[in-house]
Structure 1
Amino acid sequence: MKKTRIRRGIGRQARHAAVASGLCLALPLPHAAGAQQPAIDDGASTITQSDFLRRVGVMAHDSMQGRDTPSPGLDQTAAWIATEFRRIGLAGGGDDGGFLQRYPLRAVSLDTERSSLVAGPARLRFGADLLPLFGEIVEGEAAGDLVLVSGSGSVGGGTRRAVRGKHVALVLAADAQGVDRSTFQIVAGLRNAGALSVMVTNATGDARWAANRDRSLSPSVSKGWEGAGDAAPFVPLLQVRTASLERLITDSGLDLASLAARADGRLRVHEADGVRVTLIQRTRADTVSAPNVVGILEGSDPMLRDEYVVFSAHMDHVGMGTPDEQGDSIFNGADDDASGTSAVMEVAEAMAALRTPPRRSMVFLVVSGEEKGLWGSDWYATHPSVPLDATVANLNADMVGRNWTDTIVAIGKEHSDLGATLERVNDRHPELGMTAIDDIWPEERFYFRSDHYNFARRGVPVLFFFNGTHEDYHARNDEPERIDAEKAARIARLLYYLGMEIGNADERPAWNPESYARIVSEDR
């Protein structure tokens, strides 16, 4: 997601405007606001900032290694959430009556034993001399002459003609700290110009190479329940160890150190006379899996318990990266989205503690693969634990632990009468000090970018609770100590009250016809 500037304090302004216009006067009492209300309030009181922060701390601990999809840390997180769901008294909604719902993934790895780059007597090996760049792993082979490119700037017409049909080694400046945005643009330009491959020199030294090795050779993972599609074109992007490239150009007349020393000038192409390269990449594909966690609380009304409200959040994050100057390689994902997951777990525990549960049944769904492309929620929506046509609403929480103290953005309010229901609940609970406002970033299209969308496009009314991105988004500093647990617990109580309202209502939520036609009918 693109980073967005946050406007502070707008919740307080929104509440003042609501009072001034009389919006919170003369509202009808809903089903849940009568005799049950004291017990419902008791449930809300079980949601505390200490519990919230404890759960975030478990999921965002270094031992979970950033919860990539798939990874041992993700499996460990899912197992812990399943244990918590069992402890608080939920029923399993996953595979074979358990809490875990696993979905298939296709993992493509580079076969390093059968892959190499050969130029005359010199043979470069993957792992020792070469690494995939940007995690791209493609099978194929290509033979052609080698050229070196140094400098900076755009890939113009002369450069494009000089690299077409050639293997290209891009020589970074001697003081370069890896592949930055400008280098990436050059790499993309060289590939688009028709290069057979693009290799970037390793200017950061052997220590960084060793740190990158395992991550760069990790499998490329994709959804395993759809066709593989057309094979990607074979234009490998690689990182080459500087000393290894020197072996390739020994007899070419080029001096790599000299090129690196003046690599900040305009882009230049240097012929490596007589150096012909054959690059071979072989892959192997395996089927692996990743978990969702599903817990169900049965409703109390025999007439309505076969209808369901789904609370959702994603437990995955982006895993690990290259260590920074302090040696930190873990992207902990405390806000994204241990915070939303903790909110869902707090709501589940509060509802499970009630003597009389809501009339409708509640599904607490914690998915993975969100960061990869909404994989886990896509699998659930096509393999639901309960019928989708009996799922009356999805309330999704993603990144609710940072930014404003008095405001939560509720995306999707305008698309169904869930928006009006939320406003009633919000007005009835001023003690929360929390105002739910409309989407203030429509240009970012967040409605289509989190797990609720896989419900919406299949006809389930949704609300997406989101406090926006920040400077630690997808960064190593998204740590538990930066979470505003007091604020986040109030958001969880708002979600709880909203879920109770929907769960106890006589009628199920309804789409606005225009939104249904645009979001649901067009997708179908």
Structure 2
Amino acid sequence: MKKLLSLFAITVVLAACGSSKSKDATTTTKAPADPTKYAETITSQDLKTALYIYAGDEFEGRETGKEGQKMAVEFIKKHYIEDGIPAAKSDGNYFQDVPLEIIATPDVQLSINGKSYKNIDDYVSVGASKDATINTKDIVFAGYGIDDENYSNYEGLDVKGKIVVIRSGEPKNADGNFVITGTDKSSKWSNMRQAFALKQEAAKNKGAKALLFYAPEVYAMAANRFGRSSGRMNLAGGAEEMMYMLINTDLAKALVSDIDTNKKSMSINSDVNITYKNNSEKISSENVAAVIKGSEKPNEYIVISAHLDHEGIKDGKVYNGADDDGSGTVAVLEIAEAFAKAKKEGNGPKRSIVFLNVTGEEKGLLGSRHYTDNDPIFPLANTVANLNIDMIGRLDPKREKKNRNYLYLIGSDKLSTELHNISEAMNTKYMNIDLDYTFNDENDPNRYYYRSDHYNFAKNNVPVIFYFNGTHDDYHQPGDTPDKIEYDLLENRTRLVFYTAWELANRDARITVDKATE
């Protein structure tokens, strides 16, 4: 845990949460409702009943785009209708279409000065590009391919309509510190998960026609992942005008002979020919979204999310995904029911609560990325926080502390100090779960901060909490079945999310974002 909340801070937050008296004794103000009666409607038995259906064999592992996933979205929709919770979309449709495509190996030919290079062996396409033919001598080496306020390889460099070649990493000063951070810690431009997107975006914004990225430390892995026709999935409509490829050492040195040491931007005197044909197959899938409108601040939104998909059927075995993420899905449905009951009794939330069940998480966080990047039903600027639930029904066998009543929290302090403090305070007041921050680190080798749907909100500066029980032997295996869920813990963890959402929705002031990223 990066920050421990002081006793004083907890006391202050609890005082704010629990105060029901008006400052003006002559004013009659309705006392805040006690959320406990609504939290108590979230029961282990209701969670169990729903999960045995949702993670049963009939749903065929809920693979994105397949029949089982279609059954899953209908199951979720039915629950919202029965609880009287309206669709989030203005047209009354609970489904948000998420256009997807199954990536197939493209047909690519590439030559430099008449010498041909082989797809996968020498280069690999990253993502889907539009069909294109490029014959040009307009080639530029842009060093590290960084465009940052503290350092830019593009300063004074015209790359519009040209092929841009870049290398991985970032520069250091003579003292050994990194130029961008001014410390011995590298920046996001060296984090390969981020650098792939950041360097692509920089070249695209500068008008490049194609980007050739030399990253020898990851080429073999990337060629295996991106280069083989493996049914990898991506958002459709994302075929880029700018072609984006990783290149191996031989090809890189054919363009820039000293690329391993060269840091200077320059023109390249080579004749490059590329033809590219996209062979992707379009498919359809759906997010499910419902909303309870706020009574006082209806245009501010708390998003409670979980992913509805899993791994499907492999080798004749159903991958039920009871924990991943059946547990999160039924938790969202129970939380929705609790808020719906409160609203029916005249105690609805002041801010709006959005219940978002996203598709394609197992394929690369695709449903949540579509929501945040392409089609936010409600503006991200008006989104107060995202509480994301992904695997909260089991125990982590590798956890050293042996008490069962724990929960891993990730991201709560990354963007908003208030969110973290409120989360701690709600737990202290109502649940007393051991909140474990073991994985609350962007540099954790497991990289959980980047591996569930909250990340697409966080990258857009929406404060997040990721609720997680850790992995186990049945993670992404057919053994992830409903009979192995710890239903008492699932109840406790779900109630904690409810209490946190209740406070975020009903407090007077919206939480502030005091740690926004660029």
- Residues 31, 506 of structure 1: 8 Å contact kept: no
2:381 matched residue in structure 1: 389
Aligned pair in 2 of structure 1 residues 486, 106: CA closer, same or farther (>3 Å)?
same
Out of 266, 288, 295, the position equivalent to 1:293 is 288
Write out per-residue CA displacement over residues 394-452 of structure 1, whole angstroms, 9 at most, x where no aligned residue: 000110001163111111122212000111111111xx342323244631221111101
- Residues 104, 287 of structure 1: 8 Å contact kept: yes
Out of 37, 57, 64, the position equivalent to 2:59 is 64
Structure 2 Cα separation of the partners of residues 370 and 99 of structure 1: 19
TM-score by length of 2: 0.61
TM-score by length of 1: 0.61
Out of 325, 333, 336, the position equivalent to 2:324 is 336
2:338 matched residue in structure 1: 350
1:30 matched residue in structure 2: 16
Structure 2 Cα separation of the partners of residues 507 and 22 of structure 1: 20
1:316 matched residue in structure 2: 309
2:507 matched residue in structure 1: 505
- Residues 10, 424 of structure 2: 8 Å contact kept: no
Write out per-residue CA displacement over residues 187-227 of structure 1, whole angstroms, 9 at most, x where no aligned residue: x98x989xxx99xxxxxxxxxxxxxxxxx9x9553320311
Structure 1 Cα separation of the partners of residues 371 and 5 of structure 2: 38
Q: Could you list the runs of 5+ residues in structure 2 that have no partner in the other structure? A: 21-29, 106-127, 129-218, 247-276, 396-402
Structure 1 residue 39: deviation in Å?
Answer: 4.0
* Aligned ranges 1:155-174 → 2 under 5 Å: none
1:407 matched residue in structure 2: 406
Write out per-residue CA displacement over residues 116-170 of structure 1, whole angstroms, 9 at most, x where no aligned residue: xxxxxxxxxxxxxxxxxxxxx9xxxxxxxxxxxxxxxxxxxxxxxxxxxxxxxxx
Aligned pair in 2 of structure 1 residues 97, 32: CA closer, same or farther (>3 Å)?
farther
Q: Could you list the runs of 5+ residues in structure 1 that have no partner in the other structure? A: 1-9, 111-136, 138-187, 199-215, 234-281, 324-328
* Aligned ranges 1:46-65 → 2 under 5 Å: 46-65=41-60
Out of 51, 76, 95, the position equivalent to 1:81 is 76
Out of 489, 492, 495, the position equivalent to 1:490 is 492
- Residues 405, 433 of structure 2: 8 Å contact kept: yes
- Residues 38, 338 of structure 2: 8 Å contact kept: yes
Aligned pair in 2 of structure 1 residues 511, 108: CA closer, same or farther (>3 Å)?
closer
* Aligned ranges 1:169-180 → 2 under 5 Å: none
- Residues 100, 292 of structure 1: 8 Å contact kept: yes
2:93 matched residue in structure 1: 98
Aligned pair in 2 of structure 1 residues 24, 419: CA closer, same or farther (>3 Å)?
closer
Structure 1 Cα separation of the partners of residues 460 and 5 of structure 2: 33
2:177 matched residue in structure 1: none
Aligned pair in 2 of structure 1 residues 488, 27: CA closer, same or farther (>3 Å)?
same
Structure 2 Cα separation of the partners of residues 292 and 27 of structure 1: 35
Q: Does 1:362 align with 2:356?
A: no
Q: Which amino acid aligns with 2:320?
A: N
1:175 matched residue in structure 2: none
Structure 2 Cα separation of the partners of residues 446 and 298 of structure 1: 31
* Aligned ranges 1:435-454 → 2 under 5 Å: 435-440=434-439, 442=441, 443=444, 444-454=446-456
SS for the counterpart of 2:313 is: coil
Structure 1 residue 107: deviation in Å?
Answer: 3.3
Aligned pair in 2 of structure 1 residues 420, 220: CA closer, same or farther (>3 Å)?
closer
SS for the counterpart of 1:93 is: coil
Q: Which amino acid aligns with 2:39?
A: A
1:326 matched residue in structure 2: none
Structure 1 Cα separation of the partners of residues 432 and 311 of structure 2: 32
1:398 matched residue in structure 2: 390
Aligned pair in 2 of structure 1 residues 67, 339: CA closer, same or farther (>3 Å)?
same
- Residues 30, 501 of structure 1: 8 Å contact kept: no
Structure 1 Cα separation of the partners of residues 86 and 289 of structure 2: 9
Aligned pair in 2 of structure 1 residues 39, 28: CA closer, same or farther (>3 Å)?
closer
- Residues 340, 400 of structure 1: 8 Å contact kept: yes
Structure 2 Cα separation of the partners of residues 93 and 84 of structure 1: 14
Q: How many residues align?
A: 353
Structure 2 Cα separation of the partners of residues 411 and 466 of structure 1: 8
Percent identity between the two aligned chains? 34
Write out per-residue CA displacement over residues 216-256 of structure 1, whole angstroms, 9 at most, x where no aligned residue: 9x9553320311675989xxxxxxxxxxxxxxxxxxxxxxx
- Residues 411, 440 of structure 2: 8 Å contact kept: no
Structure 1 Cα separation of the partners of residues 104 and 456 of structure 2: 29
Structure 2 Cα separation of the partners of residues 32 and 394 of structure 1: 23
Structure 1 residue 97: deviation in Å?
Answer: 2.1
1:425 matched residue in structure 2: 426
How big is the alpha-carbon RMSD for the aligned residues of Structure 1 and Structure 2?
3.6
Structure 1 Cα separation of the partners of residues 89 and 56 of structure 2: 25
Q: Which amino acid aligns with 1:359?
A: K
Structure 1 residue 507: deviation in Å?
Answer: 1.4
Aligned pair in 2 of structure 1 residues 108, 499: CA closer, same or farther (>3 Å)?
closer
1:222 matched residue in structure 2: 234
Structure 1 residue 477: deviation in Å?
Answer: 0.4
Aligned pair in 2 of structure 1 residues 31, 22: CA closer, same or farther (>3 Å)?
closer
SS for the counterpart of 2:435 is: strand
Structure 1 residue 30: deviation in Å?
Answer: 2.6
Q: Which amino acid aligns with 2:319?
A: F
Q: Does 1:379 align with 2:398?
A: no
- Residues 310, 319 of structure 2: 8 Å contact kept: yes
Structure 1 residue 24: deviation in Å?
Answer: 5.6
SS for the counterpart of 2:51 is: helix
Structure 1 Cα separation of the partners of residues 485 and 379 of structure 2: 35
- Residues 313, 397 of structure 1: 8 Å contact kept: yes
Aligned pair in 2 of structure 1 residues 62, 506: CA closer, same or farther (>3 Å)?
same
Structure 2 Cα separation of the partners of residues 102 and 23 of structure 1: 43
SS for the counterpart of 1:98 is: coil
Q: Which amino acid aligns with 1:479?
A: T
1:7 matched residue in structure 2: none
SS for the counterpart of 1:410 is: strand
The answer to which structure has the higher helix fraction is 1
Structure 2 Cα separation of the partners of residues 69 and 232 of structure 1: 27
Give the number of the structure whose alpha-carbon radius of gyration is greater: 1
Structure 1 residue 483: deviation in Å?
Answer: 0.5
Q: Which amino acid aligns with 2:371?
A: Y
